[in-house]
Amino acid sequence: MAAFTSKKLLSVLKVVISLGLAVWLFWYLYRDGFSDTLQRLKNVDYSWVGLSLLIGITAHTIRAYRWKLLLEPTGNYTTVFRTLTALMFGYLVNLAVPRLGEVSRCLALKKSDNIPVTSSLGTVVSERVLDVLSLLIITGLTMAIEFEKLNEFFSSFFTEKLSSPYLNFQNFLLLGTGFAIIVLLLWYLLRSRLRRSTWWYKMRSLGYQTWLGFISITRLENPWAFWLSTLAIWILYYFMSYVVFFAMGPTTHLGWRAGLALLVMGGLAMSAPVQGGIGAFHLLVAGLLIYYEVSREDGLSFAFLLHSSQIVMILLTGLISSVVLFFNTRNPETLNQPEPVKE
């Protein structure tokens, strides 16, 4: 009971610290002029924001389709509507507890389609690895195109933190090596006892099922559809942010190169361990736009407009998905079965 309580307390502390960091960042950025931001938002052309939301919903739908393709090699079949509902529910959970949404959407599919969490979680891990690689490729491309501006931005942003990169890397390498040696030593001493325990067999089975989900990307039934959908997702993510430039006078002059830089900053910010990228998104985007001749105040207003519109979309679609998941469950006899092929 004590262990459970300690574990639960640790989870709560992680959420509180994450939320506290997000709130502090947001307060720090807008402490002198949030009323000014609200005033600027009165002059926004919201038709462009509406287009951004439409593009965003389309991107999420294609992501749900791609997830469906990843699930099929594991022997689990469902519909795009089901994966989209689970996906948006997961995004909603992520707004409260960062990273918990990945598990939550797998649990949602377990409820609606009886798809094992281990299998779906493996596909989510595979998806995330692909997302990271895609973001790295886009970051490299953007750095090549906009090296001068991004180099200035990163140099200014990380000057103090990266003052001694060799020492930081050296310490990290030593700690990592020491940890690996300890793990290998413990495994060598305890391996015979571990292999006789029921816990070992459960963990091995769990790991195997998760691994099958992870490598599903190598056994796709329709690889062309998968890779084309991946390309479409990132193109739509780009335009989802880019079109909002035209919603505000001070950002209408920004071109496609600024859009690429914005995509990179948004991707990095949403990877931060804070709820919905709150604070981190505003910090990186507003800081970036200064190098594109946008004032700090206008940059903060743009960041707030783009971020808050996407948060509202996730809140609405996530809540609708929660209701759908609560009331809608397929017939047990048809759960997790491939759709009949029409001749």
Does residue 150 lie within any of the structural domains? yes
String of DSSP letters for 169-183: HHHHHHHHHHHHHHH
Does residue 235 lie within any of the structural domains? yes
Which residues make Cβ contacts (< 8 Å) with residue 252, sequence separation at least 6? 245, 246
What does the block give as tokens for 209? Answer: 């099922």
Does residue 305 lie within any of the structural domains? yes
Res 319: pLDDT: 94
User: pLDDT (tens digit, 9 = 90+) per residue, 285-299?
Assistant: 988 998 898 888 888
Res 242: pLDDT: 96
Domain of residue 49: give its range: 34-328
Does residue 20 lie within any of the structural domains? no
Res 322: pLDDT: 92
Number of domains in the chain: 1
What does the block give as tokens for 188? Answer: 């060598």
CB contact at 8 A, 295 and 286: no
CB contact at 8 A, 299 and 286: yes
Does residue 14 lie within any of the structural domains? no
Does residue 335 lie within any of the structural domains? no
Res 343: pLDDT: 41
Res 160: pLDDT: 44
Does residue 191 lie within any of the structural domains? yes
Q: Residue 276: left (phi > 0), alpha (psi -120 to 50), or beta?
A: left
- Rounded distance between C-alpha atoms, residue 184 and residue 193, angstroms: 15
| Alpha-helical segments (H) within 115-214 | 117-145, 147-158, 165-195, 198-214
Q: What is the pTM of this model?
A: 0.77
Question: Within 10 Å of residue 180's Cβ, how many Cβ atoms?
Answer: 10
Q: Tell me the pLDDT of the chain (343 aa) as tens digits.
A: 444 465 566 666 666 766 676 677 767 677 776 777 788 888 899 999 999 999 999 999 999 999 999 999 888 889 999 999 999 999 999 888 877 888 899 999 998 899 988 888 888 888 888 888 899 999 889 988 888 888 888 777 665 444 444 444 455 455 556 656 765 666 555 555 555 555 555 555 555 555 555 566 777 888 899 999 999 999 999 999 999 999 999 999 999 999 999 999 998 888 777 777 788 888 889 889 988 988 888 888 999 999 999 999 999 999 999 999 888 765 444 455 555 544 4
CB contact at 8 A, 338 and 78: no
Question: Within 10 Å of residue 44's Cβ, how many Cβ atoms?
Answer: 17
User: pLDDT (tens digit, 9 = 90+) per residue, 286-340?
Assistant: 889 988 988 888 888 999 999 999 999 999 999 999 999 888 765 444 455 555 5
Does residue 264 lie within any of the structural domains? yes
User: pLDDT (tens digit, 9 = 90+) per residue, 46-75?
Assistant: 999 999 999 999 999 999 999 999 999 888
C-alpha torsion angle, residues 6, 11, 15, 21 (rounded to 10): 70
Within 13 Å of residue 6, how many CA atoms lie on the same side as its CB? 3
